[in-house]
A and B are shown apart, each in its own frame.
Chain A
Amino acid sequence: MPRWGMVIDLNTCTGCGACIAACKNENNVAYSSPEEAENGRALSWINLLPRYEGEFPNIHIQYYPMLCMQCDNPPCIKVCPVRATYKADNGIVAQIYPRCIGCRYCMAACPYTVKYFNWYEPKWEPEMIKSFNPDVSLRPKGVVEKCTFCHHRLIEAREEAMVEGIEFQEEQFVPACVETCPARAMHFGDLDDPNSMVSKLANSSRAVRFLEDLGTEPKVYYLSASEKLI
């Protein structure tokens, strides 16, 4: 069984935010008002974490796309009292919305703060109601949600391969953010396959992971010119 992972090249990433927009559209993530965002209650499965270096005008800005790290040893599943979040066989950390009771223990346990709580009833512009992705459910108020590596796309790709009578190829499964990235800074694939682009990049000397010393074994790698991440 493949072990899905992602590599983000920070030297190539321009911080354009296309991945955020693609993710919101793909996963029916609700839009938030400026007031809600000010309270830290905005929903966005990918965030750009900025870091500023130097003094104006010689300033250098680096953006870190932060999404669920799909840890191999996830702290969030250990605290969930109802097993609404668990690690699937293919390594993706799943969140089952109808089972979630909204206690937010997982949000507190996640060291990367990439789980989001639905504080309000989800709302969209009326024109957008017909443009939902039918493969992803609409989350109600009071449940926690997060990035799933677009797991529904894996299911779709497998089904389509089966209907067409061809063998499923790993390249057929690409999350929306990776597909959209105009700078080709994001790579996705099987970390266990030694021939895949992702595993080669993940094993390169530039590859680092966030908060590795916690032992969470995240499956999202960052390629950075500087050796240390914040």
Chain B
Amino acid sequence: MNLLKNQWFLIGAGLCGILILVVLFLVLPNGEVTQPIAFNHKKHRDNNVPCIVCHRFYKEEKRAGIPPVNVCITCHEDVIYPTPEKIKIQNYFSQHKAIPWQQVYKVPGHVFFSHRLHVNRGNLACKSCHGEVGQLEQPVTKQLIPLKMKYCIDCHKTVETIDNPYECIRCHR
């Protein structure tokens, strides 16, 4: 009890608490991920590489697909102008390892989204949901448009869908 009456002890405890909060704020993740390779979307787009070269399935499958290393190596095989990122790709390729891309655009497990439906039937451009990813010079670390249910519903209110846009089992099954 004597300890609690000591004002220096109380001040010290308070300062420690603030310090811990500051450290936690800096350390805890803020929703951003780190990508293994500094991928430049804009540069690829400017060189006329369409989305489908790397995201190969977005027209035919439910998922769009992230590029495996052998897709990257088709263009980045040369050793004449090695850059740090090229060397990383070549290392992954020679070691037969997959590039550990971090998935940024994902929905919870009880939500079922289909790329092929939205692209073929809805005629949506990638940027409708993904934002201006094509203009990014830095790797994608967070969703440019936060994918929440409200975003889906807001769009579905305005367009004509196959059946009732509010049919819950379309997405939650």
Contacts and interface: CB of A to CB of B under 8 A. Distances in A.
Contacts of B120: 162-163
Interface in A115-135: 135
Nearest to A94: B169
Chain B binding site: helix, strand, loop or mixed by DSSP? loop
Contacts of A92: 169
Interface size class of B (residues with CB under 8 A): 20 to 34
Contacts, number: 51
Contact of A1 (B59, B109, B163, B169): B163
Contact of B163 (A89, A98, A136, A138): A89
A162 B115 CA distance: 13
A94 B109 CA distance: 18
B117 A162 contact: yes
- Which of A86, A89, A97, A155 is packed against the most chain B CB atoms within 10 Å? A155
B167 interface: yes
A159 B109 contact: no
A209 interface: no
Rank and list the top 7 A-B pairs by shortest CB-CB distance, nearest first.
Answer: A94-B169, A137-B110, A98-B110, A96-B168, A96-B172, A152-B173, A89-B164
Interface of A: 1, 86, 88-90, 92, 94, 96-99, 135-138, 148, 151-152, 155, 158-159, 162-163
